[in-house]
Structure 1
Amino acid sequence: MFGKTVILTFDDAVSNHAQFVAPLLRELGFSATFFICEFPPDFATDKRQYMTWEQIRQLHELGFELGNHTLNHTGVTGMTETAFAAEFDALERKLIENGIPRSRSFAYPGGPGSAHVHAALRARDVRFARIVEERPWRPAVDDSYMIPAYAVHGDGEAFHRALAAGCSDAVPVLVYHGIPDYAHPWVDTAPEKFAEEMRFLASEGYRALSFSDFADSAFF
């Protein structure tokens, strides 16, 4: 049913998402979900690493989905539901202040998810929440608030493992960070490697979607 379909996601509001990633995706006819946060302590000052809010808004204007990654990239496993709601809502206010619609997708900072925040997500009409776990997403059986995804960086081996795991009932979800990532080199992907991976998807006839595209497609 899903065929050659992947979901592309990008975390942490890195500046090259606007400068390099988005133009390449548009060139190839791909979409993606960009998960936004104000990564402390340097989001406001380190614009070599992080986007401005103007750049974030431009991603929305280009048709990309913007999702919630909490305001301060705060891991949820040790938070109360009240604290989580405050972090989530603070990022939502930033989106709205900058002319961006409320998010319908969420990515757990750091990767691990937690069921204790699912009620807060439901109350905010969130449709999808993504964790990091190396297996493909099976929409028919997986919890839509615990969607697994492959963290892709470095040599790209995870990229090819993800594609190999895709099948008629499973969709690989890919997680990228900076292209490159100056502040967090352990999740860095070189621009040349990223372009190679995206052009491979295009040459092999893959559809690259955002979560919102997937929800609006005949697949879901």
Structure 2
Amino acid sequence: MDTPYTADRSLYGKLRRRLARVVHARPAQLNLTRPLLTVSFDDAPSSAADAGAAILERHGARGTWFISAGLMGQHSHLGTFAIADEIRALAAAGHEIACHTHDHIDCGKGTGEQIAGNLDLNAAAFQREAFPEAATFAYPYGDVSPQAKAILRERFTAARALHHGLIITGTDLNQAPAVGIEGADGEDVAQTWLRRAVDQTAWLVLYTHDVRETPSSWGCTPAVLDRLVTEAVQMGFEIVTFAEGARRATPAVVKRAA
């Protein structure tokens, strides 16, 4: 990942992602009395495992780290990726360790066999490194296909994408929306969606990558993240992991009497 990769933004790619939104869905069912917020970190740069976790913990909150185990310890435009000890420390502190494929593959372009194999590799690495079993997933690059959704629906309770939106009753948990804290206007955009979530008593998922004083174009500074979390707490949000949000948004299965 030394060179930033861009998912397919062609007309075909846009149509594929739009088609994916209407198949293999898992509709959310929510009855919230206060808005929910999930703060998530993709790819797990060490800066996110360090500064990102520390900020959440100062507020008594926990977040979700989407891990591609094949990247551990490598270097990229996002900085150095967390090593196994850092990821185990996150889990020990109560943060969620979730799946992002093993090699950060593009699930929009990959075949079903490639996607399933890469998920198996990540699961094996999680077991080998004594990470908790992943309950949720995030699509690398936010790229989605119908066949990817079919595979992921059978393996995870929820899968996070990158299109903007809130999670309310009826939202597809297998292609859940999220808002990035990235770029020059990342803080302003996140604040807008915080206000919308309050107005609708909805669940908002934020994401970023590195958390550094001089972040990449896909990251944010510690100060920005701290201000957003502080503001969310003041606005009355309950901050939960992605897995916990998915648990609350998943209808209970009622067993019929024999």
Calculate the TM-score normalised by the size of structure 2.
Answer: 0.76
1:67 aligns to what? 98
| Aligned counterpart in structure 1 of residue 135 of structure 2, from 96, 99, 104 | 104
Alpha-carbon offset, residue 85 of structure 1: 0.6
With over 3 angstroms needed to count, the CA separation of the structure-2 counterparts of 1:203 and 1:33, relative to structure 1, is: same
Alpha-carbon offset, residue 13 of structure 1: 1.1
- Tell me if structure 2 keeps the 8 A contact 1:132–1:148: yes
| Aligned counterpart in structure 1 of residue 161 of structure 2, from 122, 128, 131 | 131
1:82 aligns to what? 113
Q: Could you tell me how far apart the structure 2 residues matched to 1:217 and 1:202 are?
A: 19
**Structure 2: any 5+ residue segments left out of the alignment?**
1-31, 252-258
Query: Does 2:171 correspond to 1:145?
Result: no
Amino acid at match of 1:179: V
With over 3 angstroms needed to count, the CA separation of the structure-2 counterparts of 1:159 and 1:50, relative to structure 1, is: same
With over 3 angstroms needed to count, the CA separation of the structure-2 counterparts of 1:61 and 1:141, relative to structure 1, is: same
Q: Could you tell me how far apart the structure 1 residues matched to 2:130 and 2:63 are?
A: 19
2:20 aligns to what? none
Alpha-carbon offset, residue 169 of structure 1: 5.5
Q: Could you tell me how far apart the structure 2 residues matched to 1:79 and 1:33 are?
A: 25
With over 3 angstroms needed to count, the CA separation of the structure-2 counterparts of 1:18 and 1:199, relative to structure 1, is: same
Alpha-carbon offset, residue 142 of structure 1: 1.7
1:172 aligns to what? 204
Q: Could you tell me how far apart the structure 2 residues matched to 1:123 and 1:170 are?
A: 26
Query: Does 2:85 correspond to 1:57?
Result: no
- Tell me if structure 2 keeps the 8 A contact 1:34–1:65: yes
Percent of pairs with identical residues: 24
Q: Could you tell me how far apart the structure 2 residues matched to 1:59 and 1:6 are?
A: 19
- Tell me if structure 1 keeps the 8 A contact 2:138–2:159: yes
Amino acid at match of 1:170: A
With over 3 angstroms needed to count, the CA separation of the structure-2 counterparts of 1:2 and 1:117, relative to structure 1, is: farther
Which of structure 1's runs of 4+ aligned residues deviate more than 6 A? none
| Aligned counterpart in structure 1 of residue 238 of structure 2, from 190, 204, 207 | 207
Which stretch of the first structure deviates more once superposed, 10-19 or 154-163?
A: 154-163
How many residue pairs get aligned? The number is 215
With over 3 angstroms needed to count, the CA separation of the structure-2 counterparts of 1:114 and 1:218, relative to structure 1, is: closer
Query: Does 2:75 correspond to 1:46?
Result: yes
Calculate the TM-score normalised by the size of structure 1.
Answer: 0.88
With over 3 angstroms needed to count, the CA separation of the structure-2 counterparts of 1:133 and 1:61, relative to structure 1, is: same
